[in-house]
Amino acid sequence: KLHPVILSGGSGTRLWPLSREQYPKQLLALIGDETMLQQTALRLAGFSGRLPVSEQPLVVCNEEYRFITAEQMRAAGCPTNHILLEPVGRNTAPALTLAALTVRRDSDDGVLLVMPADHVIRDREAFHRAVDLGIEAALAGAMVTFGIVPERAETGYGYIRVGDEASPGIHAVSSFVEKPDAETAAEYVASGAYLWNSGLFMVKAGVWLKALAHFNPEMLAACESALESAGRDADFVRVGREAFQACPSDSIDYAVMEKLAATPELGIVPQVVPMSVGWSDVGAWDALWTLADKDDDGNSGRGDVMFEGTTGSLVHATSRMVVCLGVEGLVIVETPDAVMVARKDQTQDVKKIVARLKSDS
């Protein structure tokens, strides 16, 4: 079976003031009526590929968000009794490991499709085709990534150097570099030899656990013991606090992906399915403006919003009316306790404000 694994543990501070510690990005409806978590849960609806999709997606999130997460899954028509609750965040590698250990109870060969809960994919059919290709590679024992043609020298992404074609639509990964510095990222983009890592992965449960046993046995042991000491209540699996707190923190990318390409003797080949699916990780407000439906003047409004003589702007109002008169290229986000007015090309700097707010409090 194909087991969707939804990673829903991040906070997405670059969409402040809408995303907050109490209300992270994946739980918000930023585009369309569904939240990003719900869109992720629905992403495989209608999939008819070489494996049937499990009716019980695994969602891994912080225990603080258990009720809203369960409620959003139910409301989207994707209820699940596999919500794994982390007492603390330990980044994505332990989150995936908890899911892999859960799936392995039934079968080593269960294929995991790891999906970040806070991404947008516009072309669902093209995505299904990419997933179907990925299944072939994963069943053969590969660690599969999905690559996106890079648009800029983004330093927040992983870069995949594309190797030879292994089978139609599937390539070897000759190296994987997570979050390079700006100069290196620019070189990679200019070379045309690299793809962005989309952050989706596909791998058999047993293959992931074998890779982790090799690269970070301590993490594997901590996750095993966290599940052994887990408690079940309703649809939730509360992993053991003490064991999980002791787990080393690392991402899938650093803990395993970067190392795999350099360790052929392990026998787990990293591969990449290049895909063109309208992918975005909605990293900041300007990305949201790019994705949003806009009127003839390039404006996008959510909530009680009026535009007059305004162009290229995004307004998100949650509790009051917002009127824009004769302005250009602004992002305005209104919430009950904070209002942000920014030039669209400076919205990346929101993280500086969030950092300042944190250090002040």
Q: Between residue 272 and residue 301, which ones bind ligand GDD under the rule CB under 6 A?
A: 281
Give the Cβ contact number of residue 361 at 10 Å.
5
**Partner that binds at residue 117, options ligand GDD, Mg ion, none, CB closer than 5 to 8 Å by kind:** ligand GDD
Q: Which of 89, 169, 206, 303 binds ligand GDD (CB under 6 A)?
A: 89
- Per rule CB under 6 A, is residue 240 in the interface with ligand GDD? no
16 torsion bin: left (phi>0), alpha (psi -120 to 50), beta (else): beta
Q: Which stretch binds ligand GDD (CB under 6 A): 151-159, 162-170, 208-216, 338-346?
A: 151-159
CA distance 302 to 345: 20
Binding site for Mg ion (CB under 5 A): 281
Of 156 and 267, which has the nearer Cβ to Mg ion? 156
- Per rule CB under 6 A, is residue 72 in the interface with ligand GDD? no
Of 89 and 298, which has the nearer Cβ to ligand GDD? 89
- Per rule CB under 6 A, is residue 158 in the interface with ligand GDD? yes
- Per rule CB under 6 A, is residue 10 in the interface with ligand GDD? yes
**Partner that binds at residue 35, options Mg ion, ligand GDD, none, CB closer than 5 to 8 Å by kind:** none
Q: Are 145 and 139 in contact (CB under 8 A)?
A: no
CA distance 6 to 54: 13
- Per rule CB under 6 A, is residue 117 in the interface with ligand GDD? yes
Q: Which of 80, 91, 271, 347 binds ligand GDD (CB under 6 A)?
A: 91
CB of 306 to ligand GDD, least distance (A): 34
- Strands 158-167 and 270-274, bridge-based pairing: unpaired
CA distance 215 to 212: 5
Angle between helices 217-228 and 92-104 (to 10 degrees): 60
CB of 120 to Mg ion, least distance (A): 12
CA 99 to chain centre: 15
Q: Which of 90, 161, 302, 316 binds ligand GDD (CB under 6 A)?
A: 90
Going by C-beta distance under 8 Å and a sequence separation of 6 or more, which residues neighbour residue 22? Answer: none
